[in-house]
Amino acid sequence: MATTTDVGLGLIGCGAIGRLMYVPGAQALAHEGLRLVAVADTIPERAHDMAAATGARAHGTYQELLDDPRVDAVVVATTIGTHFPIALAAIQAGKHVLLQKPMATTVEDATALIDAAHTARVTLQVEPPHRMNPLAERARQDIQRGLIGKVCLITARSAHNGPPDRPWFYFKEHGGSVIFDMGVHALTFATGIGGPVRRVSATYTTSVPDRIISGKPVHLDIEDNALLTLEFASGALGSIITNYCTVASLGPAYEVFGNEGTILLNGPQGAYLRFSSGGILQRPGHEHEELGWFTATQTSGHVARPLSLTTMSSNPTDPRLSSLAHFVMCLREGKEPEPSATFARHTLDIMVSAARAASMGQTQTLTTTF
């Protein structure tokens, strides 16, 4: 992997994600040598507006942007169905790539991206970054230390009421999918804690087929409500809830149940909570450790919320909390991104296998791991 100090960044896709997430992130990382030098969008006016606001150069197509010699790396923040061809073209042009989720819509295309990045010796990083979340790291540490015993079940929920202003999310031809858009968050966090999955089953349905999006009626051709059941390689089970049917919710978004305790993440009581049935649990090396509820506070450093990392509401210069900061760090230091592209491919494998399981009514065995 090549290393670099100053990074000329190109942004492909000037919609809400690019505008709200990556532009502020690039501005915050200017002191790290990151410069937003080029932007491109299928809507020329949008690219020109962003160029005027940032000082970048507007390009009419992503290929023109890739031909710009000032561009060392690109962020691909386009519709889901275009992720693979744009990322592949960027890799083949010798650009480092930070790719929005999911990395492709098939496992075969994901593998092609990984192989192409290896051949071109460029960095490929894929959203979302939840495995880097300090809460996920704390959970892994506590599990490894045996503080909740054997992990038996992980439940995860990522859901909202659906994007109100972007119709493409609701159509398969653009890569629209509640699993690809929302379920990927819960799956990434769950596998970031529980490890690889070996089997998946699922039930999908369309609960609200007719909606008003951007003031116009839309009839969905995607499923908007899904339940997934995972069997982790460790033997633990997982339950994933994702939908575009949740107006509001209250309760932990992620729970890890062990035979001696429970970890709750992003619950209303606090960012990270741990409970042990033993109170003061007598274990070799831990005889005097208090294992009641552990409530993380701002002073403990565990203030990240699992679904806030993709909004840049966290510190945009902290590589643990910002994908873009992590990307720049990896380029500068020649490190492999965390999570890896193989991790992202495994998450994609779960999602496409879950869709197959739902349509066939049969549990599917995963073909990938990380």
Task: Please identify which residue in the block is written with the tokens 């994702």.
Answer: 242
pLDDT digits (tens, 9 = 90+) for 66-87: 999 999 999 999 999 999 999 9
pLDDT for the residue numbered 110: 98
DSSP H or E segment with residue 211 = strand 210-213
Output the pLDDT for position 314: 56
Q: Where are the domains of the chain?
A: 7-126, 131-307+348-357
pLDDT at 300 over 50: no
pLDDT at 21 > cutoff 50: yes
For residue 67, give the 3-state DSSP assignment.
coil
As a whole number of angstroms, the longest Cα–Cα distance in the chain is 65
At 111-161, the pLDDT tens digits run: 999 999 999 999 999 999 888 888 888 899 999 999 899 999 999 999 999
CA distance 62 to 47: 11
Give the contacts of 58 (CB within 8 A, at least 6 positions apart).
38, 39, 40, 44, 47, 48, 50, 51
* C-alpha–C-alpha distance, residues 79 and 292, integer Å: 45
Residue 246 burial (CB count, 10 A) = 16
Q: What is the pLDDT of residues 163-196, one digit of tens each?
A: 888 899 999 988 889 999 999 999 999 999 999 9
End-to-end distance of the chain based on CA atoms, in angstroms?
Answer: 20
pTM for the whole thing?
0.88
Alpha-carbon Rg of the chain, whole angstroms? Answer: 21
| Domain 7-126, CATH number (from 3.30.540.10, 3.40.50.720, 3.20.10.10, 3.40.50.300) | 3.40.50.720
pLDDT at 301 over 50: no
- Token pair 């460029």: residue: 122
Task: Identify the pLDDT of residue 2.
Answer: 43
Average pLDDT estimate for 326-332: 94
In whole numbers, what is the pLDDT of the chain averaged over residues?
87
Reported as a single tens digit per residue, the pLDDT across 228-267 is 999 999 999 999 999 999 988 766 689 999 999 888 887 5
CATH, domain 131-307+348-357, list 3.40.50.740, 3.30.360.10, 3.40.720.10, 1.10.3720.10: 3.30.360.10
Could you write out the DSSP letters of every residue in 61-113? SHHHHHT-TT-SEEEE-S-GGGHHHHHHHHHHTT-EEEEPSSS-SSHHHHHHH
Q: Left, alpha or beta for 229 (phi > 0: left; psi -120 to 50: alpha)?
A: beta
**Phi/psi of residue 288, each to 5°?**
-115, 20
What integer pLDDT is reported at residue 267 of this predicted model? 56
Question: What is the DSSP secondary structure assignment for residue 285, as one 8-state letter?
Answer: T
pLDDT tens digits for range 108-118: 999 999 999 99
pLDDT at 272: 75
pLDDT at residue 277, as a whole number: 67
The answer to whether the CB of 36 falls within 8 A of the CB of 9 is yes
Residue 298 predicted with pLDDT over 50: no
Contact 229, 201 (CB under 8 A): yes
